[in-house]
Amino acid sequence: MMLRDKILLVTSVRKFAGAGVTRLALAEGARVVAHDATFTAVASRKAFEAEFAGARAIAAQEPAKIVEQTMKLASRIDALVSNDAYPALRAPIVEARMEDYRAALETMAVRPFALAQRVIPVMKRQKGGRIVFVSSAAPLRGIANYAMYVSARAATLGLVQSFAKELGRDGITVNAVGSNYVENPDYFPPSLLANAEAMRKMTAQIPLGRLGKPEELAAAICFLCSDGAGFVTGHVLAHAGGWA
């Protein structure tokens, strides 16, 4: 088991790659502490823990409290999976609304930075850890009419490069998975997958000719959380079927 006895903190677990990462991490022997905006409700936390036996859901929403509650439950954080998602809003440059852009940056760059700030001192005391940002392959190519989303994701990739250089001597690796065209509830939901014409157009752009599976994305993320990725840092792993 590649994650035996590791403590993984997974954010926004009901979004994007959260379910797949939780399922695989548990199967690989990890203990998962999960954050989500819906977990302020007791019923939501109980439902998650019933669905993912062995995982723990926490109510905290602010970075300091997220880390505090995780440490109370697990005493350490071996890996942070910053699983951040925000709608990819289509808008030509001159029509883009600054409030939408600020919201994208807040969700996909500012909040991940703030949480990492709180997790890093814990990892330094432990003399090691893994930080994995679940991001997008879009900044690797750029997409017309999606400059807000693409540039907000690009900010995260910049964090990877800088964090990796600053934290390497502390035994902390920092990487990102640049995903695209992977089935998930936020960007490629079942309603879209049921549209045959939309699927035909999408898969025509993917060299592998198909969408990725949630378990494939989870496998890439969990590998970067494992001991096997100990000499990998500052890397953005494109996970997009050859599109990027």
Instruction: Name the residue range of residue 61's domain.
Output: 7-239
Q: Tell me the per-residue pLDDT of 183-232, one tens digit each, with 9 for 90 and over.
A: 988 888 888 888 999 899 989 999 999 999 999 999 999 999 999 999 99
Sheet arrangement for strand 7-10: 56-58, 31-35, 7-10, 79-83, 129-136, 172-179, 235-239
Query: So what's the pLDDT on residue 58?
Result: 98
pLDDT-derived band at 152, boundaries 50, 70, 90: very high
Handedness of CA 205, 207, 211, 214 (dihedral sign): negative
pLDDT-derived band at 127, boundaries 50, 70, 90: very high
31: alpha, beta or left, given left = phi > 0 and alpha = psi -120 to 50?
beta
Answer whether residue 84 is part of any domain: yes
Nearest 5°: the CA angle 79, 32, 26 is 105
Q: What is the mean pLDDT of the chain?
A: 96
Query: So what's the pLDDT on residue 192?
Result: 85
- Closest C-alpha to 214, from 234, 244, 190: 190
Answer whether residue 142 is part of any domain: yes
Answer whether residue 143 is part of any domain: yes
Q: Tell me the per-residue pLDDT of 159-169, one tens digit each, with 9 for 90 and over.
A: 999 999 999 99
Answer whether residue 244 is part of any domain: no
Query: So what's the pLDDT on residue 221?
Result: 98
Answer whether residue 1 is part of any domain: no
Q: How far is CA 204 from the centre of its chain?
A: 26
Answer whether residue 2 is part of any domain: no
Tokens of 129: 């850890």
Query: So what's the pLDDT on residue 198?
Result: 87
Query: Would you say 221 and 239 are in contact if contact means Cβ atoms under 8 Å apart?
Result: no
Q: Tell me the per-residue pLDDT of 95-119, one tens digit each, with 9 for 90 and over.
A: 999 999 999 999 999 999 999 999 9
Q: What CATH number should be reported for the domain holding residue 108?
A: 3.40.50.720
Answer whether residue 105 is part of any domain: yes
Query: So what's the pLDDT on residue 190?
Result: 86
User: Under DSSP, is residue 52 helix (H, G, I), strand (E, B) or coil?
Assistant: coil
Asked whether residue 1 carries a pLDDT value surpassing 90, the answer given is no
Answer whether residue 168 is part of any domain: yes
Asked whether residue 176 carries a pLDDT value surpassing 90, the answer given is yes
Asked whether residue 66 carries a pLDDT value surpassing 90, the answer given is yes
Q: Tell me the per-residue pLDDT of 23-32, one tens digit each, with 9 for 90 and over.
A: 999 999 999 9
**Dist CA 128 CA 121 (whole Å):** 10
pLDDT-derived band at 148, boundaries 50, 70, 90: very high
**Stretch 146-153: mean pLDDT, rounded?**
97
- Counted domains in the chain: 1
**Stretch 14-38: mean pLDDT, rounded?**
97
